[in-house]
């Protein structure tokens, strides 16, 4: 009887861990779709329209590793359609709420960025001109302090239009 109980409990534990893993994978998949959707709006925009649209000042946004108070880009030029709001709560295909934060900052292909947000420079010789780096971070809107589900980043050069 004891051996039977041990076997049944092991099977129940395996099912439980499988359910938790599938739930997390489902959330990550939905978060990735939301992150890609936001990134595609930036890929479709002209170079001058790539900026953080009304970034919030809450600790979740400003505490993220992608946030840059020095090199964050908060204005654009000649945009017929502004980019998405820098932080929003969106409902995924699974019906759950996700917080989608977008960060846009100057970056260099190698080395560090120097100067200011209005006049960025690349400190390392041969690293080229600064590019705009867009990072989209998707979190569970009920657990903002938990690890983000997805972090998608892409760089944009002025030559792309």
Predicted pLDDT at 126? 74
Tens digit of pLDDT for each residue in 13-31?
778 888 888 999 999 999 9
Q: Which residue has the higher pLDDT, 119 or 14?
A: 119
Q: Which two tokens stand for residue 110?
A: 């190698």
Can you give the length of the chain in residues? Answer: 161
Task: Give the residue-averaged pLDDT of 91-116.
Answer: 94
Q: Are 128 and 138 in contact (CB under 8 A)?
A: no
Predicted pLDDT at 11? 85
* DSSP sequence for the chain: -HHHHHHHHHHHHHHHHHHHHHHHHHHHHHHHHHHHHHHHHHHHS-GGG-S-BS---SHHHHTSTT--TTTB----SS-SSPPPBSEEEEE-TTS-EEEEEEEEEEE-SSS-EEE-SSSEEE-STT--S-EEEEEEEEEETT-TTSPPSEEEEEEE-GGG-
What residues have CB less than 8 Å from 62, skipping those under 6 apart? 69
Q: Which two tokens stand for residue 63?
A: 């505490």
End-to-end CA distance of the chain: 73
Phi, psi (rounded to 5 degrees) for 138: -115, 125
The reply to whether the predicted model has a pTM over 0.75 is: yes
Task: Give the residue-averaged pLDDT of 52-60.
Answer: 94
Q: Given a cut of 70, is residue 161 above it in pLDDT?
A: no
């Amino acid at each position: 009887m004891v051996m039977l109980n041990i076997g049944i409990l092991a099977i129940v534990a395996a099912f439980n861990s499988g359910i938790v893993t599938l739930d997390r994978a489902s959330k990550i998949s939905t978060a990735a779709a939301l992150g890609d959707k936001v990134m595609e709006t930036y890929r479709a925009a002209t170079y001058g329209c790539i900026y953080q649209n009304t970034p919030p000042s809450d600790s979740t946004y400003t505490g993220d590793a992608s946030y840059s108070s020095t090199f964050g880009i908060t204005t654009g030029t000649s945009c017929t359609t502004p980019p998405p709001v820098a932080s929003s709560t969106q409902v995924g295909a699974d019906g759950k709420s996700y917080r989608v934060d977008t960060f846009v900052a100057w970056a260099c292909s190698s080395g560090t960025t120097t100067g200011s947000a209005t006049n960025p420079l690349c400190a390392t010789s041969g690293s080229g001109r600064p590019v705009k780096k867009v990072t989209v971070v998707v979190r569970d809107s009920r657990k903002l302090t938990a690890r983000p589900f997805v972090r998608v980043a892409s760089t944009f050069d002025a030559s792309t239009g």
